Structure 1
Amino acid sequence: MAWAQSLGKEMRGFAIEGTGSYGASLTRHLQGAGQFVVEATRPRRDRMAHRNDGKSDTKDALRAAKALLAEELAVAPKQRDGDVEALGTLQVWRSAVKSRTSAINAMRAVLVTAPDRLRDQFRGATNVLIETVLPASPGNGLDASILRALRQLARRCKSLTEEIVEADEEIDRLVRRRAPQS
């Protein structure tokens, strides 16, 4: 705001690129200060005409400013403070599923290369079973290292499973509040 005011021109509004992502904080700040803010989208004809110009922040900013002054921009930033935004945030949190899958795959990889005696011992075992049954393994040998790795990966799976359940419960609560008929 201070920078824009220092230009000495009348402020008509702000065209912000990425109002729903990287520009979200600036958008909230400007709107909180009572400023008019629109998404800096480029009209289709503008994209076609400047396709070969390459990416240039300076050129993009100039185009956005001209489009704002010509009143060609009409996309209002989404409100970022309600249930829909909360659901989006929870979905990001719930992406722990990918981490859990990676931990399970790592356990499988450890077992695939483990000596037969260990591989046979854990054939068909679940992550929870491995975490609860497997004692901490003192020692420095291969078996001890494999057992420690399996135990730690199983603990990670258990923790991530708990996070996923918690996120799912929160998501379900928000969805029911937002769409009780569903």
Structure 2
Amino acid sequence: MTSAVADDTTDQDVFGGVDSHADTIHVAVISDNGGHLADAEFATTTAGYAAALAFLNAHGHVRAIGVEGTASYGAGFTRAARSAGLDVVEVNRPDRAERRRIGKSDPIDAYAAARAALSGRASSAPKDDTVAGIRALHNAARSAVKARTATLNQITHILVTAPESIRAKFGQLKGVDRTDALARLRPAGDAVHTAVLTALKSLARRVKELTAEHETLTRALDGEVTANNPGLRAAYGVGPDTAAQLLVTAGGNPERLRTEASFAALCGAAPVPASSGRTNRHRLSRGGDRAANAALYRIALVRMSSDPRTRDYVARQTAAGRTKKEIIRLLKRAIAREMFRCLTTTVTIPGIADLRPLRQSKNITLTAAARHFGVWPATISTLERGIRRDDNLANTYRDWLTAA
């Protein structure tokens, strides 16, 4: 632990900075004119957080504390500081050029965080804990998908080098058919055949278990997301995984994102000038939260394939000479604006609970209703169950059922 002697005057304004790690945090204090006052190291425990806050308060009136990793290693200290009524701001780690110039150590990073809080360079409020459950379910569901993909790849690689009789029997099967066939195996034959078949059976069963696990987690995630923000979940093209990612990116307190432009920049969807000479254009941003950017991309693809308004827009932009990449950039920026509105305001969701009972009371089948509107029966089914939101179709459908 390193420290400096605190000033005898405890009524001065000071700023704190925290460099967080798994087992320790390093806390630095500076005066309101940037002078270094003291720094010390504390454990990432309840007692350690209390000691760190006492250390900060001993040097004066704490105006703000800059913390690196408020949603990761610094989450515990952030909760303790905010519970004590202190103002915490989120600090990005220094860029590489600055680190090469001044070096790196825990005290250096802690003082840099304090200076960021003093200068106002760090001004974003940290995310609160209301989406912690969504974040946990989202991470678990994604890890299940990654593990399932890795297992499927292992099966493919084993079949490539498997004995000819095994490769001929299972190599041509695809998807669920292959997994089901391998899971039902009864390994037999010589030592090589038995070993290969045993491995394939084990991997196939693992795929089935991971698939069931992912489906269970997705159902739980869907329930949490819908309860947290029904307007976001009901937006066209927004599934449980996409909604969860946007909620995690924005945090449980999205009001900390002051404008929709700041949210677009956070998602890497803000247009970046790419002009030169007589060329005047913009390009896709390569910064921001890339997982949130991917979520906007998925929404754009869904709407380009099945949303009539989006398809008409794409046709107009294509006729105007824009490339597909440029059109997607425009769509992602517009979608970011819509998602920001869903995240920061209460969006009223029209009721659809009456549609299925009304159809059944008229003895109208899904197929008949779908044929009338020129859509697939699945479209009407998902509309009735609230899985797909289409307000225009819902209103027209209700009017038709009422008049039938």
Residue 158 (structure 2) aligns with: 110
Are the equivalent residues in 1 in contact too, given 2:91–2:113 (CA < 8 A)?
A: yes
After superposition, give the CA deviation of every residue in 1:4-60 in whole Å (9 maximum; x if it has no partner). 424732251432111012211221122233333221347xxx869835324333222
2:113 to 64, 68, 71: 64
User: Do residues 121 (structure 1) and 172 (structure 2) align?
Assistant: no
> CA 1:21–1:122 in structure 2 vs 1: closer, same or farther (change >3 Å)?
same
1:33 to 84, 88, 99: 84
Residue 75 (structure 1) aligns with: 124
Using structure 2 for the length normalisation, give the TM-score. Answer: 0.39
Deviation at 1:144, TM superposition (A): 0.8
Cα separation, 1, equivalents of 2:201 and 2:96: 56
Deviation at 1:106, TM superposition (A): 0.6
User: Do residues 50 (structure 1) and 98 (structure 2) align?
Assistant: yes
Cα separation, 1, equivalents of 2:194 and 2:164: 14
Equivalent AA in structure 2 for residue 174 of structure 1? E
CA RMSD, 1 decimal: 2.7
User: Do residues 20 (structure 1) and 68 (structure 2) align?
Assistant: no
Cα separation, 2, equivalents of 1:16 and 1:106: 42
2:202 to 130, 152, 158: 152
After superposition, give the CA deviation of every residue in 1:40-83 in whole Å (9 maximum; x if it has no partner). 347xxx8698353243332221122234345654221111223x
After superposition, give the CA deviation of every residue in 1:103-132 in whole Å (9 maximum; x if it has no partner). 11111111111111111122315212211x
Are the equivalent residues in 1 in contact too, given 2:53–2:81 (CA < 8 A)?
A: no
> CA 1:76–1:122 in structure 2 vs 1: closer, same or farther (change >3 Å)?
same
Using structure 1 for the length normalisation, give the TM-score. Answer: 0.80
Deviation at 1:140, TM superposition (A): 7.2
Cα separation, 1, equivalents of 2:218 and 2:111: 44
Cα separation, 2, equivalents of 1:37 and 1:56: 22
After superposition, give the CA deviation of every residue in 1:157-181 in whole Å (9 maximum; x if it has no partner). 0111011111221222233331244
Cα separation, 2, equivalents of 1:49 and 1:97: 37
Identity level (%): 35
Equivalent AA in structure 1 for residue 180 of structure 2? V
Are the equivalent residues in 2 in contact too, given 1:4–1:11 (CA < 8 A)?
A: no
Residue 224 (structure 2) aligns with: 174
Instruction: Name the SS of the counterpart of 2:130 in structure 1.
Output: coil
* 154-163 or 71-80, which deviates more: 71-80
Structure 1 residue runs without a partner (length 5+): none
> CA 1:121–1:48 in structure 2 vs 1: closer, same or farther (change >3 Å)?
closer
Cα separation, 2, equivalents of 1:6 and 1:168: 44
Cα separation, 2, equivalents of 1:129 and 1:34: 60
Residue 290 (structure 2) aligns with: none
The structure richer in strand per residue is 2
Cα separation, 1, equivalents of 2:96 and 2:193: 62
